[in-house]
A and B are shown apart, each in its own frame.
Chain A
Amino acid sequence: MGVARRAGVGAGIVLLAVALASVGAVTAAPSGATLTVGLDQEPPTLDPEASPSAVTFQIIPDVTESLLYQGLDGKILPWLASAYKISADGKSFTFTLRPDAKFTDGTPVNAEAVKWNFDRVVNPNYKAGGSLSALSGYAGSTVVDDHTVRVDFKAPFAPFLSYAAGGTLALVSPKATQAQGNEVNLKPVGSGQYVVSEYVPKDHITLTRNADYNRKAPWSDHQGPANLNTIIWKFIPEAGTRVTTVESGETQMISGLSLPSATLSHIATERTLRIDRNPYPGAPRIWVLNVRMAPTNDLKVRQAINYGINRAAITDSVFKGLGTTACAPLTQQTLKTPALCNAYPYDPKKAAQLLDEDGWKMGPNNVRQKDGKPLTLTINSINYGSGNLPEIELLQGQLLALGIDARIKSQARPPWYEDNYHCATNGPVLFLRSTDPDGLFALFDSANIGGNFNWACYSNPELDKMLQAGRETYDPAKRSAIYRQIEKLLVDQAITVPLVDEYSVWVVRSNVTGTKYNFSGYPILTDVKIGK
């Protein structure tokens, strides 16, 4: 009996220890000086010029600065450059730099630093990320004087202004970067309102206020340093855990990425939380149809799919609160094309008629067939570890209603890419974030078949010419007209099934004010205040 009692006491001690330890661990209430933000994943690198990932650019606007700034309204404003001039031939951009800008290591943001950064991106020994396509056709930079730099391109490159305002071409200190080696991936040295003071891999990044910042950022309501002392970016991959942290106050803001729409509806009812939504620029979530493989090599089949997919149903179910129904290969935020929204209204009868005309007659098991061959296709579906994306399963169901037997090839990212490069399925569902309509160049220029990202495997010399013209045209009206023409061609040819124009979604505690967002939909936190 004595032993039994002791064992019982032992178990009791363990439980007591757990209980006692928990007493000291009461979650801290939101502090006026620190903002903790929950992110869905860790960035692959914080070096803006090396990163291919959006995660980097959600964190970096508080740390590094670009030559120009593009706000939510799309207007290009001065930032590190106080002015810019475009040469008559459209190939050269001359930037006048602010004389008072300094990197946080004390070195000046001068013409030499701009040249060093851009040369670094195109250096074949450097593994550049999204920055490389932002400098397509870069011919070199010239230091005109200490505060004037000329950036030359081989051909006119109109999207450069928007790209120079984006995170991919944010500037890092040449001196610090050369000295720190690979450390630049963790603690890049910029000229912004915060410095990366701590990086704990797989856990968090701490940004500390740069007290010496004495300028007024283009979005800011004040001159001088940021409001909060510290911003902590915490990596919380599990969506449920992330939501719990913002509900309990352990974090004050979280990324809404991969949150189920039902969770979002629930959050919308909570008084202590608010949801910040901003449309993403670029290409919407879109099903790209491979025009080289049967049956999507057939225009009538592609058109039938466009008529037969109920996009509104997809938006209202899995994307409720996360986006609006897409119309074209660019989001409406990037280029308004209301006419294209009515190009393929949901009309299953019309879809059936097109398939009938094309010889695809309804066969056994509700699958159409032609010459004894069933109408089947394969959707390339990326699987991040938690199964198929819900929109792909909805697509499959809707296609079956049309008599099309859609198979889902569910696979991890590497083989998913590989199949896209080889045009090996009837196409993937993807999205592309781009601040300029020139994003269509990556998606549809024939040079990008077998690479990133012409996965429709569509080659059309006329389209290539138009895409190049879009790059070379500066007049905004003419430029828009070119991209409208491009979009019309793509829609007429039914190269894609546009699904959802997505929002950048952030869940924020109500007492947190002053959150701002740039044109990419990424948060800027320098003006944030935390109330009671």
Chain B
Amino acid sequence: MIRYISARLLATVPVVFGVTIAVFSMLYLIPGDPVKMMLSEFQTSPEQIARMRAQLHLNDPFFVQYGRFVWNGLHGNLGTSIRDNRPVTQEIFEVFPQTVQLAVAALVLASALGLALGILAALRQNSWLDIGSMMVATLGISMPSFWLALILILIFSLHFELLPAAGGGDLPHLIMPAVALGLGAAAIIARLTRSSMLDILRTEFVTTARAKGLRGRTVVLRHALHNALIPTITIFGLQFATLLTGTVFIETVFGRPGLGRLVVEAILNKDFPLVQGSVLIFALAYVVVNLVVDIVYAVVDPRIRYQ
């Protein structure tokens, strides 16, 4: 197991390296002079531009600059925001917990709803419950989250005046964003759980378990579900990453503080250090989540770690 985990950890190194190169190169891939663009709204003198260039070390060779970026990054220094002169790490970590909170809430909702619907549908295949829940799931997959968000706002904020439409911080502000974000993922998890459960329920070991006279609950929970969850876990990981990036839309629609909104506004404000820092954190979160999924996968399914 330790060998497996070490191998997975090692495999993330080139990925992280690639991510940092890609994030760092952004500054060079965008046409035009980055300093002039960053200062475009300000009245600037050539001296100010030169000073900014020096401050960002833009006159150094590419790899020297990249090395500095990585070195500083390892020391928790991702530079200073152009717009408000505050440290990028501070700006990110002020809002990152809110994004994680939203993504986790959406995932919990998606898992509970998705698993419950999926298992129910599989156990009662071809019943009205199965057809109904899969129709709901198809609808859930088809609905864009930002559209659903606006519909939820219209119903629960404007019509019933039950939930606040904008802002963050407490539970009432979390409900609609989590539902808007999580419903699509719930639909995907439901469909996958259903098909996976159906496959497992048809296998011989389930028949054997039933033939041994085990109770229905034991057969489903201890034998079938355990195995049916294996492909679903991969989806959990991927969905969590999708949810994390989905916050870009949801946080904007609901006016919630978070990394998604931070990155959108940083892009619109051409705040390169902030864009680099936020994208890096998103990418690292993606890598970490996938690593965790790989490890959980190995724990649940011993066959994986023996391969």
Question: Any chain B CB within 8 A of the CB of A235?
Answer: yes
* Binary flags per residue of A391-430, CB closer than 8 Å to B gives 1, else 0: 0000000000000000000001111011001000000000
Question: Do the beta carbons of A25 and B163 come within 8 Å of each other?
Answer: yes
Give the Cβ gap from A64 to chain B, nearest Cβ, in Å.
Answer: 17
Interface residues of A in 12-57 (CB under 8 A from B): 13-14, 18, 21-27, 38, 41-42, 44-45, 52-53
Question: Do the beta carbons of B267 and A412 come within 8 Å of each other?
Answer: yes
Interface residues of B in 259-307 (CB under 8 A from A): 261-262, 264-265, 267-270
Give the Cβ gap from A288 to chain B, nearest Cβ, in Å.
Answer: 16
- Chain A residues positioned under 8 Å from B265 (CB to CB): 41-42, 202
Of A21, A42, A201, A202, the residue contacting B171 (CB under 8 A) is A21
List the one stretch of A122-130, A189-197, A223-231 in contact with chain B: A122-130
CB-CB nearest in chain B for A185: B84
User: How far apart are the CA atoms of A381 and B73 in the complex, in Å?
Assistant: 36
Q: What is the total number of residues of chain A having a CB less than 8 Å from a CB of chain B? A: 66
Give the Cβ gap from B129 to chain A, nearest Cβ, in Å.
Answer: 9
Interface of B, helix, strand, loop or mixed by DSSP: helix
- Chain B residues positioned under 8 Å from A165 (CB to CB): none
Given contacts A22-B172, A26-B161, contact A413 B268 (CB under 8 A): yes
- Chain B residues positioned under 8 Å from A21 (CB to CB): 171-172, 175
Of B45, B168, B175, B252, the residue contacting A25 (CB under 8 A) is B175
Give the Cβ gap from B236 to chain A, nearest Cβ, in Å.
Answer: 16
Question: Do the beta carbons of B41 and A52 come within 8 Å of each other?
Answer: yes
- Chain B residues positioned under 8 Å from A421 (CB to CB): 36, 40
- Chain B residues positioned under 8 Å from A418 (CB to CB): 31-33, 36-37, 40
Question: Do the beta carbons of B268 and A22 come within 8 Å of each other?
Answer: no
Question: Do the beta carbons of A241 and B120 come within 8 Å of each other?
Answer: no
- Chain A residues positioned under 8 Å from B32 (CB to CB): 414-415, 418
* Binary flags per residue of B205-225, CB closer than 8 Å to A gives 1, else 0: 000000000011100110000
Question: Do the beta carbons of A11 and B113 come within 8 Å of each other?
Answer: yes
User: How far apart are the CA atoms of A18 and B150 in the complex, in Å?
Assistant: 18
Question: Do the beta carbons of B45 and A124 come within 8 Å of each other?
Answer: yes
- Chain A residues positioned under 8 Å from B150 (CB to CB): 240-241
Question: Do the beta carbons of B157 and A244 come within 8 Å of each other?
Answer: yes
Question: Any chain B CB within 8 A of the CB of A527?
Answer: no
Question: Do the beta carbons of A8 and B116 come within 8 Å of each other?
Answer: yes
Question: Do the beta carbons of A234 and B166 come within 8 Å of each other?
Answer: yes
Question: Do the beta carbons of A25 and B162 come within 8 Å of each other?
Answer: yes
User: How far apart are the CA atoms of A451 and B45 in the complex, in Å?
Assistant: 10
Question: Any chain A CB within 8 A of the CB of B187?
Answer: no
- Chain B residues positioned under 8 Å from A8 (CB to CB): 116, 120
Question: Do the beta carbons of B42 and A236 come within 8 Å of each other?
Answer: no
Question: Any chain A CB within 8 A of the CB of B257?
Answer: yes
Give the Cβ gap from A126 to chain B, nearest Cβ, in Å.
Answer: 10
Question: Any chain B CB within 8 A of the CB of A366?
Answer: no
Question: Do the beta carbons of B162 and A26 come within 8 Å of each other?
Answer: yes
Question: Do the beta carbons of B221 and A3 come within 8 Å of each other?
Answer: yes
Interface residues of B in 25-59 (CB under 8 A from A): 30-33, 36-38, 40-45, 47-48, 51
Of A128, A244, A385, the residue contacting B158 (CB under 8 A) is A244
Question: Do the beta carbons of A52 and B221 come within 8 Å of each other?
Answer: no
Give the Cβ gap from A40 to chain B, nearest Cβ, in Å.
Answer: 10
Question: Do the beta carbons of A234 and B165 come within 8 Å of each other?
Answer: no
Interface residues of B in 101-137 (CB under 8 A from A): 109, 112-113, 115-117, 119-120, 123-124
CB-CB nearest in chain B for A254: B166
- Chain A residues positioned under 8 Å from B156 (CB to CB): 22
Give the Cβ gap from B40 to chain A, nearest Cβ, in Å.
Answer: 4
User: How far apart are the CA atoms of A417 and B119 in the complex, in Å?
Assistant: 55
User: How far apart are the CA atoms of A502 and B284 in the complex, in Å?
Assistant: 44
Question: Do the beta carbons of B166 and A7 come within 8 Å of each other?
Answer: no
Question: What is the size category of the interface that chain B forms with chain A?
Answer: 35 or more
Give the Cβ gap from A415 to chain B, nearest Cβ, in Å.
Answer: 6
Question: Do the beta carbons of B165 and A185 come within 8 Å of each other?
Answer: no
CB-CB nearest in chain B for A2: B217
Question: Any chain B CB within 8 A of the CB of A348?
Answer: no
Question: Any chain B CB within 8 A of the CB of A311?
Answer: no
Question: Do the beta carbons of A241 and B166 come within 8 Å of each other?
Answer: yes
Question: Do the beta carbons of B85 and A182 come within 8 Å of each other?
Answer: yes
* Binary flags per residue of A213-250, CB closer than 8 Å to B gives 1, else 0: 00000000000000000000011111011101101111
Question: Do the beta carbons of A124 and B217 come within 8 Å of each other?
Answer: no
Question: Any chain A CB within 8 A of the CB of B21?
Answer: no
Question: Any chain B CB within 8 A of the CB of A339?
Answer: no
Question: Any chain B CB within 8 A of the CB of A529?
Answer: no
Question: Do the beta carbons of B43 and A132 come within 8 Å of each other?
Answer: yes
Given contacts A185-B84, A234-B166, A241-B255, contact A14 B112 (CB under 8 A): yes
Of B41, B124, B216, B255, the residue contacting A234 (CB under 8 A) is B255
Question: Do the beta carbons of B261 and A7 come within 8 Å of each other?
Answer: no
Of B85, B115, B167, the residue contacting A7 (CB under 8 A) is B115
- Chain A residues positioned under 8 Å from B141 (CB to CB): none
- Chain A residues positioned under 8 Å from B262 (CB to CB): 202
Question: Do the beta carbons of A18 and B179 come within 8 Å of each other?
Answer: yes
Question: Do the beta carbons of B175 and A11 come within 8 Å of each other?
Answer: no
Give the Cβ gap from A101 to chain B, nearest Cβ, in Å.
Answer: 28
14 A-B pairs (CB sep. < 8 Å): A4-B123, A11-B113, A21-B171, A21-B175, A22-B175, A26-B162, A182-B84, A200-B257, A235-B255, A238-B254, A240-B150, A414-B38, A417-B40, A418-B33
Question: What is A's interface to B at a CB cutoff of 8 Å?
Answer: 1-4, 6-8, 10-11, 13-14, 18, 21-27, 38, 41-42, 44-45, 52-53, 124, 127-129, 132-133, 182, 185-186, 200-204, 234-238, 240-242, 244-245, 247-251, 384-385, 412-415, 417-418, 421, 451-452
What are the 4 closest A-B residue pairs judged by CB atoms, nearest first?
A25-B172, A202-B257, A11-B116, A236-B255
Contacts A1-B216, A26-B162 known; 17 new A-B pairs at CB < 8 A: A3-B119, A27-B161, A38-B255, A41-B265, A44-B83, A53-B41, A127-B48, A132-B42, A202-B95, A203-B167, A203-B168, A234-B255, A244-B153, A248-B157, A414-B38, A414-B270, A415-B31
